[in-house]
Amino acid sequence: MNIFLYEWKAYRKSTIIWSIVLLTLVVLFMSMFPSISKDAVQYKKLLEGYPEGVRKAIGLNIDSFFSLLGFYSYSFLYITLCGAIQAMNLGVSIVSKEVREKTADFLLTKPVTRSSIITSKVMAALTALLVTNIVFIIGSSLVASQVKVEDFSKQAFFLISLTLLFTQFIFFALGLVLSILMKKIKSVITVSLGTVFFFFIIAMLSSTSGDGVERYLSPFKFFDTAYIIKHSSYELSFLITGIVIMIVSIFTSYLVYIKKDIHTA
């Protein structure tokens, strides 16, 4: 419990900062919606001038772009990108920081098992992500209610917003297993940004190729906002895929960490 509280206090400041960043992005994007929806005809002509491949790559669907849910879906892609960076940072840092800061020997000599240590760290990081998403969902809902020009499905809006949490959990699990499998990580931000943008580029490429089986290659494509808007639900196969990735990554992390030779000071 003491490890959990210590870790949570360490993440508290960054959690506040990331929450503010995500809310700021929502406000910036959604504040443009009333004027865009008002001049929909002109904007549609402008957007139609872009090649279809480019529109798909940046997540722009002209058919739904001028509705609140459609515009929110477009902006949500870039909000998710920032959220993935936050989650990846947490996943990569929670174990590797003990090696970088040369405090592993102090921690591992305490009368607690390695499984208890990693469990406390994981729970603290997941709590930080959960708090970020609670703030984000409440804030984005308030913003949407202020800028709407017509009624929209609140259920679909909530389901779209909730995919941020699912995506973050996936990237957190990937970051965790990556940090444990790698011998030493000198820079968390380098590994985090490199991994997140790698999957983001794959997502953009899969969008231009028709969103087939390539969607399974990137967590950014597991939750299709167009499908959510239409069906008010998630695609089961991709939801299961995300859960499997999380379970396998965390299980592998536990298995390796418990037996791993941790370098101390």
Residue 117 lies in a domain: yes
**pTM, full prediction:** 0.89
Cα angle 213, 174, 102; round to 5: 160
Residue 103 lies in a domain: yes
Q: How many angstroms separate the CA atoms of 202 and 192, rounded?
A: 16
Residue 79's domain spans which residues? 2-259
Give tens-digit pLDDT for 168-186.
Answer: 999 999 999 998 888 777 7
Determine the average pLDDT of the residues in 137-158. 90
Residue 163 lies in a domain: yes
Output the pLDDT for position 52. Answer: 73
Residue 125 lies in a domain: yes
Domains identified in the chain, total number: 1
Residue 53: pLDDT band by 50, 70, 90 thresholds? confident
Output the pLDDT for position 98. Answer: 64
Residue 37 lies in a domain: yes
Residue 186 lies in a domain: yes
Residue 110: pLDDT band by 50, 70, 90 thresholds? low
Residue 265 lies in a domain: no
Residue 264 lies in a domain: no
